[in-house]
């Protein structure tokens, strides 16, 4: 595995964050180690801004917008997704799945403190197990944020589960897209994205200098035009 790369920014105007509580968590945080304590392994800034505006700009006023998140960690990206839904003034709901029990507890507390909890169903379970059950009751997905396991096969499996519920304009957002692995190692999210493009086609935009270890956020869309 290659040496870790960090593109999370700490010296920025905290007023740019979409949620007041999230801003309070970032106050006086200057290093990766300090960030882990307050916000866990979240994408951080400017990733939060990228996620917020991508979702805010894509929700449809003429339908109910279902948002799916896998891997909530401490719930910080969940807060951003929920705030985008709130600020869009569109109808919708966010479903977030977190495997780790302790992370789930922290996320639940953070969502309540951020005053976005009524817009979110937070689920403590394995994504591969619960996603098919969840999607039985959902007609379509407007946005999906994939940030659970980084292993290549796991990412592909999650995508395969949600794919039937995607329409041409749905956004699927992936974290940790930079290729950190050596050739003989699991190719992680980067390898999964190469498989998705080869198998499903679509359009992919990658933002390399955002997030951390591995960095990179990519947005996939099937057929925008």
Those residues whose C-beta lies under 8 Å from the C-beta of residue 79, and which sit 6 or more positions away, are 19, 21, 22, 110, 111, 114, 116
> What percent of the chain is predicted at pLDDT more than 70?
100
pLDDT tens digits, one per residue of 178-197: 988 788 888 999 999 999 99
Q: The tokens of 185 are what?
A: 């190692």
Q: Is the pLDDT of residue 3 over 90?
A: no
Question: Which residue in this structure is represented by tokens 């922290």?
Answer: 106
- The verdict on pTM exceeding 0.85 is yes
Q: Indicate the length of the chain as a whole number.
A: 225
CA angle 7, 12, 16 (to 5 degrees): 105
In the chain, what are the domains? 14-221 (3.40.50.150)
Those residues whose C-beta lies under 8 Å from the C-beta of residue 2, and which sit 6 or more positions away, are 179, 180, 181, 182
What pLDDT was estimated at residue 192? Answer: 98
């Amino acid at each position: 595995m290659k040496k870790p790369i960090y593109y999370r920014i700490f010296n920025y105007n905290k007023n740019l964050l979409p949620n007041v509580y999230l801003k309070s968590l970032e106050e006086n945080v200057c290093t990766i180690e300090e960030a882990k304590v307050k916000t866990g392994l979240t994408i951080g800034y400017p990733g939060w801004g990228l996620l917020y505006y991508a979702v805010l700009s894509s929700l449809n006023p003429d339908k109910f917008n279902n948002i799916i998140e896998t891997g909530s960690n401490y719930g910080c990206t969940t807060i951003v997704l929920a705030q985008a839904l709130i600020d869009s003034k569109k109808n919708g709901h966010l479903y977030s799945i977190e495997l780790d029990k302790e992370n789930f507890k922290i996320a639940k507390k953070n969502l309540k403190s951020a005053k976005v909890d009524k817009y979110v169903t937070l689920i403590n379970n394995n994504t591969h197990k619960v996603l098919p059950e969840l999607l039985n009751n959902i007609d379509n997905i407007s946005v999906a944020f994939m940030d659970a396991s980084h292993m290549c096969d796991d990412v592909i499996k999650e995508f395969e589960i949600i794919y039937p519920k995607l329409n041409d304009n749905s956004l699927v957002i992936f974290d940790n897209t930079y290729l950190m692995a050596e050739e003989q190692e699991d190719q992680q999210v980067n390898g999964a994205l190469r498989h998705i493009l080869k198998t499903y086609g679509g359009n992919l935009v990658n933002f390399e200098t955002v997030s951390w270890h591995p960095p990179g956020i990519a947005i996939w869309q099937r057929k925008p035009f």
